[in-house]
Amino acid sequence: MELMTRQETWNITYNHALGETASWFYAQIRDHSKIYGRRCAATGRVLVPPRSFSDQTLEPTTEWVEVGPGGRIEAFTIVYEEFQNLPPPPYAFGYVLLDGADTALGGYFKGLDLTDPAKAAERLKMGTRVVTKFAEQRTGDVLDFWYEIA
Amino acid sequence: MSTDRVGIIGIGQSRFTARRDDASYPDLVREAVVLAMNDAKLGFDDIEAVVYSLSPDAMVGIGNAERLGVEAVGARNKRFLRINTGGATGISSVAAAYYHIASGVCDVVLTAGADKVGECGDSQTVLNKIWDPTYERQLPLGTINMLGMSAIRYMDRYGMTEEDMARVTVKNRRQASLNPNAHLRKVVTIDEVLASRYIAWPIKLMDCCPQSSGGGALVLASERYIKQHNLDAVWITGLAHCSESYWLGDRMGKNPAADHADAFALGRSFQRAYKMAGITNPGEQVHVAELYAPFSNTEYHSIDAAGLAKPGESIAMLREGQFELGGRLPVNASGGTLCTNAIAVTAMIRVAEVALQVWGRAGGHQAKGARVGIASGNGGDHQFFGTMVIEA
């Protein structure tokens, strides 16, 4: 027999409040091209991205600490497949331990040729030094910065 | 803890495929429920509670689809709740059914669900939404690239190669070819896996699970009820969960408590389940394992976390054939999550397959002489690791 289908689309717009910690963090990126983490007083760990409390002690973090702009690659991937509602491939992104931070911050890797997967992966291998670059026009967002091989 | 054991007395699962256009979502749930009820040889009046296994609503495109499924599981006028722990949902649902019985509240509990991931069109669009909208949603995160980054770290730490990853696919596809319920049953070679296109380096198409449609159901009962009614059963002798913190970037950097290469909390979860079951040397005492691994590379850190290998040694042990059907300790004899992933019930199928194995009912993919088995389910980005020990 003929089997039929019906198409449905979900398209919902949210306006997420970022809270005090992320709002301050993004204002520094937008206005000064600087990245900050929050220090946990008990352990001394600098959490990037900054969080208002430590996951280990559940106590409030106490201090803003500037980190980067240099850092080292902790993880990466290079995406070659197209996914709905995600950027057109190829693109590389991953996590970088910025100088002065204890945890890694996600961002795009730009400025390298991704045509040959093995060659691109070799250039992005773990431990590679990178530097943070900032867009000229900044809105206060993660996409205001990216990483390039130092 | 109750001394009365909890047994599995009925198992139902679909023949999983990409699409099931012949069945609506509740039709698919009912299909598995009928199979499990027939297997248990019970009527719906015997069921006291139903735990509904359903991962993110957006995967089936129906908000709180457990409402739509309430009739398909026969839950009208019964205790009814829904469990969602992402990829771990199925094993968490079995755990919730177990706790209903172990608490003494119920004697017979059904858990069931279904998924139609193929109707979603692109599950990574849904899975991208598990990342926080403050710092990380802007990045193109999904479960494939999340676990691709785990592969990068596992390679760096333990020397895993792309060929080692391919070897997992080859093993699991061969095993799936023996399991009529598996979705991807075509045998492949290492060269074919290596030649498949990159999705997210180093994960290639054939390192990935499919988007499957199908249902799963289990009937659990108290030992007292099973003995009173002279029913056949296998026993859940250990179970646990464990969580890791939220931020992926915290599992790297300076001295992380848990490394993104590994499945630290899965290891903790297994240790808890083993303690409950009295297992002190899993490498010797476990005969068969169904470990949730949707991408080839994650089977290695799951084997490590289950204590079946020292961290990283799983690579050489798998190469030697130790985890093959017919080998020393078969892992994912059903073909596993890599060959079938109907997300809402995937981790339940891990439990079901281990139950079939220790029951001696696994048919063409039976591991000879299996009496003690383990199952796991992973959900979120390391927040939900469910584990179970099941014995004949």
Q: What is the pLDDT of residues B280-298, one digit of tens each?
A: 999 999 999 999 999 999 9
Rounded Cα–Cα distance for residues A7 and B281 (Å): 52
In this prediction, residue A144 carries a pLDDT of 98
Contact B89, B379 (CB under 8 A): yes
Cβ-proximal residues to B343 (8 Å cutoff; 6+ apart), any chain? B55, B59, B86, B87, B89, B115, B117, B123
| pLDDT, averaged across chain B | 96
- Which of B62, B78, B296, B51 lies closest to B188, judged by CA? B296
Q: Among partner residues A85, A101, A141, which is closest to B253 by beta-carbon distance?
A: A101
Above pLDDT 70, what percent of chain B?
99
Rounded Cα–Cα distance for residues B132 and B149 (Å): 18
Task: Assess whether pLDDT exceeds 70 at residue A14.
Answer: yes
Q: Determine, for residues B58 and A10 on separate chains, whether the beta-carbon distance falls below 8 Å.
A: yes
DSSP string, B355-375: HHHHHT--GGGPPTT--EEEE
Q: Determine, for residues B149 and A77 on separate chains, whether the beta-carbon distance falls below 8 Å.
A: yes
* Closest chain A C-alpha to B94 CA, distance in angstroms: 29
Tens digit of each residue's pLDDT (9 = 90 or more) over B142-185: 999 999 999 999 999 999 999 999 999 999 999 999 999 999 99
* Closest chain B C-alpha to A4 CA, distance in angstroms: 7
Q: Determine, for residues A77 and B148 on separate chains, whether the beta-carbon distance falls below 8 Å.
A: yes
Quote the DSSP letter at residue B130. G
Chain B residues with CB under 8 Å of A75 CB are: 149, 152-153, 248, 252, 260
Question: Which tokens is B119 given?
Answer: 């109707």
Q: Among partner residues B134, B153, B156, which is closest to A18 by beta-carbon distance?
A: B134
- Which of B251, B363, B306, B382 lies closest to A94, judged by CA? B251
Chain B interface residues (partner A, CB cutoff 8 A): 21-22, 58, 61, 119, 121-122, 124-125, 128, 133-136, 138-142, 145, 148-149, 152-153, 156, 197-203, 245-250, 252-257, 260
Rounded Cα–Cα distance for residues B302 and B377 (Å): 10
How many C-beta neighbours within 10 Å does residue B79 have? Answer: 14
Rounded Cα–Cα distance for residues B392 and B362 (Å): 13
* Closest chain A C-alpha to B23 CA, distance in angstroms: 9
Local structure of A93: helix, strand or coil: strand
Quick one: closest CA in A to B124, which residue?
A83
Please report, as a single letter, which amino acid is at residue B247. Answer: W
Q: Determine, for residues B249 and A120 on separate chains, whether the beta-carbon distance falls below 8 Å.
A: no
Contact B252, B337 (CB under 8 A): no
Tens digit of each residue's pLDDT (9 = 90 or more) over B185-228: 999 999 999 999 999 999 999 999 999 999 999 999 999 999 99
* Closest chain A C-alpha to B238 CA, distance in angstroms: 28
Chain A residues with CB under 8 Å of B246 CB are: 55
Task: Assess whether pLDDT exceeds 90 at residue B5.
Answer: yes
Rounded Cα–Cα distance for residues B347 and B343 (Å): 8
In this prediction, residue B1 carries a pLDDT of 45
Tens digit of each residue's pLDDT (9 = 90 or more) over B246-276: 999 999 999 998 999 999 999 999 999 999 9
What would the 3-class secondary structure string for B298-334 be?
A: HHHHHHHHCCCCCCCCHHHHHHCCCCCCCCCCCECCC
Q: Determine, for residues B138 and A141 on separate chains, whether the beta-carbon distance falls below 8 Å.
A: yes
Domains of chain B: 6-121+211-228 (3.40.47.10)
Q: Determine, for residues B125 and A84 on separate chains, whether the beta-carbon distance falls below 8 Å.
A: yes
In this prediction, residue A109 carries a pLDDT of 98
In this prediction, residue B249 carries a pLDDT of 96
* Closest chain A C-alpha to B131 CA, distance in angstroms: 12
Tens digit of each residue's pLDDT (9 = 90 or more) over A34-65: 999 999 999 999 999 999 999 989 999 999 99
Cβ contacts from A onto B, under 8 A: 136
Q: B interface mutation test: which of A24, A35, A83 has the most B CBs within 10 A?
A: A83
Cβ-proximal residues to A26 (8 Å cutoff; 6+ apart), any chain? A18, A140, A141
Rounded Cα–Cα distance for residues B167 and B190 (Å): 6
Q: Determine, for residues A108 and B139 on separate chains, whether the beta-carbon distance falls below 8 Å.
A: yes
Longest dimension (CA), chain B: 57
Rounded Cα–Cα distance for residues A131 and A149 (Å): 6
Chain B residues with CB under 8 Å of A36 CB are: none
Chain B residues with CB under 8 Å of A125 CB are: 156
Rounded Cα–Cα distance for residues A104 and A110 (Å): 17
Question: Which tokens is B387 given?
Answer: 């584990």
Quote the DSSP letter at residue B97. H
Rounded Cα–Cα distance for residues B97 and B8 (Å): 10
Q: Which residue has the tokens 């949210």?
A: A14
Question: Which tokens is B180 given?
Answer: 């009529």
Task: Assess whether pLDDT exceeds 80 at residue B47.
Answer: yes
Task: Assess whether pLDDT exceeds 80 at residue B90.
Answer: yes
Q: Determine, for residues B253 and A77 on separate chains, whether the beta-carbon distance falls below 8 Å.
A: no
Q: A interface mutation test: which of B152, B162, B165, B248 has the most A CBs within 10 A?
A: B152
Q: Among partner residues A18, A74, A81, which is closest to B252 by beta-carbon distance?
A: A74
DSSP string, B205-260: GGGB----EEEEEEEEEEHHHHHHTT---EEEEEEEEE---S-GGGGSSSS-SS-T
Quick one: closest CA in B to A25, which residue?
B135
* Closest chain B C-alpha to A97 CA, distance in angstroms: 6
Q: Flag whether the pTM goes above 0.95.
A: yes
In this prediction, residue B3 carries a pLDDT of 64
Above pLDDT 70, what percent of chain A?
100
Residue B271, sorted as left (phi over 0), alpha (psi -120 to 50) or beta, turns out to be: alpha
